[in-house]
Amino acid sequence: MRTRFWRQRTNIISATLTLIAALLLTGCFGNDEEDWNGKNISGLMPELEFDLINSQGKSVSG
């Protein structure tokens, strides 16, 4: 009796996880058009300027 309960419970859990994965993956498919809600701000913002030192001690800049 207990093994049947756990087998049913395992089937329900695996079916639920499969459904969740399928729903999450639907966001990965769609049209190939780029319809982003963004705006090109080139020229409106100052150029990226920074100087950092990486883990090897070399200088890194924008």
pLDDT tens-digit map of 24-50: 888 777 666 666 677 888 888 888 778
Flag whether the pTM goes above 0.75: no
The pLDDT tens digits of the residues spanning 3-31 come to: 777 788 999 999 999 999 998 888 777 66
Instruction: Give the DSSP letter string of 7-25.
Output: HHHHHHHHHHHHHHHHHHH
Count CA atoms closer than 13 A to 30's CA, side-chain side.
8
**Predicted pLDDT of residue 12:** 92
Domain boundaries, the chain: 1-28
Q: What is the pLDDT of residue 48?
A: 77
